Amino acid sequence: MADKYRCGRCWKTFDEEKLKVLPGVRCPYCGYNIIYMIRRPTVKVIKAV
Ligand SMILES: [Zn+2]
C-alpha cells in the first residue's frame, strides 16, 4: 500500500496519482481540500534554512 496522502476530513489515505485526477489538491473521496502528506513511518522535520 502506498499511502502518501491523507484527507483531513474522512481520513482516507490515497496515492499521489489519485490526487492528480482532480484539479487542485482535493480528497478524491469527499472533495475536502486539506490534505496531509505522509512520507515515512517516522516523521521527519525539515527546516527551511
Ligand atoms: Zn476525504
Cell numbers placing 6: 491523507
CA of 26 to the centre of ligand 1 (A): 8
* Cross-sheet strand order for the sheet of 13-14: 13-14, 5-7, 35-37
Could you tell me if residue 24 is left (phi over 0), alpha (psi between -120 and 50 degrees) or otherwise beta?
A: left
CA of 45 to the centre of ligand 1 (A): 25
Q: Quick one: pLDDT band at residue 41, thresholds 50, 70, 90?
A: low
CA of 6 to the centre of ligand 1 (A): 8
pLDDT tens for residues 11-39? 999 988 887 776 778 898 999 999 988 87
CA of 11 to the centre of ligand 1 (A): 6
**Is 7 marked within a binding site?**
no
Cα distance between residue 19 and residue 5, in whole Å = 8
Q: Give the domains, in start order, of the chain with CATH numbers.
A: 1-49 (2.20.28.30)
